[in-house]
Homo-oligomer: A and B are copies of this chain.
Amino acid sequence: MDLLQLKKEVFRANLKLVDLGLVTLTWGNVSAIDRTEGLIAIKPSGIDYDVMAVEDIVVVDLDGKVVEGKYRPSSDTPSHIELYKAFTEIGGISHTHSKYATMFAQAHMEIPCFGTTHADYFYGTIPLARTLTEEEVNEGYEKYAGRAIIEKFKSIDPITMPGVLLSSHAPFTWGKDAMESVKHSFILERIAEMSLGTLQLNQDCNSVEQYILDKHYKRKHGPNAYYGQK
């Protein structure tokens, strides 16, 4: 994939976050990776969406060195890099402070799978990564944020669970490319909103049965999927 194409995809995906109401002000960023070249295209830091152009998208390598672009990359770039290194099958990452997912992150709560909307896209409880220590925050806040996610995913498959909440912070989601990571942000936000309401109605609500989770997730994903067109 050529770099300009990657930058265009990242540009469009960043604007899509705004269109979907998931980002206000500059509270979000999307990146995508070219696995062949080991290069990441990402939103510049603190630039308004209203004035951002394709050429403002910054390209960095996997050491965080800027290889193209006149701006500093998103301050969250080290988190993205850690995730790309550890989750080798993903192609795009989104970070937002979307309202409902952030409420769960701030409340230090994972999101149990309360229904089939959730089961269709996230295979089980949406995990919460731990609070960073003072040493981690001071030594490399954004890098260690990425590592806390990876630590949490030791026994979770990032392909079947394409998102996470950071304690006291907000969500990250990912996917096969930039736009799919945005789609997962959107779905996570809707799931979080419906889970809040579910808990307000029934604070002892249980997760769905394992066989329903399996059925719904596998109806849409994997070799026996039958949702959608062939």
Contact = CB atoms under 8 A, between A and B. Distances in A.
Interface stretch (A6-14, A156-164, A207-215): A207-215
A146 to B, nearest CB: 15
A117 B138 contact: no
21 contacts: A46-B228, A47-B228, A75-B219, A75-B226, A97-B117, A99-B193, A99-B194, A103-B200, A104-B201, A106-B195, A106-B198, A108-B202, A115-B168, A115-B170, A134-B209, A134-B211, A137-B211, A137-B215, A138-B215, A141-B219, A199-B200
Contacts of A130: none
* Ranked 5 nearest A-B pairs via Cβ: A46-B228, A103-B197, A107-B201, A107-B202, A106-B115
Interface string A43-78: 011110000000000000000000000011001000
Given A138-B211, A198-B106, A211-B137, A117 B205 contact: no
Contact of A107 (B132, B198, B211): B198
B194 A141 contact: no
Nearest to A187: B25
Interface in A90-119: 97, 99-100, 102-109, 114-117
Interface residues of A, number: 61
Q: How many copies does the complex hold?
A: 4
Contacts of A114: 106-107, 168
A109 B170 CA distance: 24
Contacts of A227: 45-46, 75
A169 interface: yes
B194 A24 contact: no
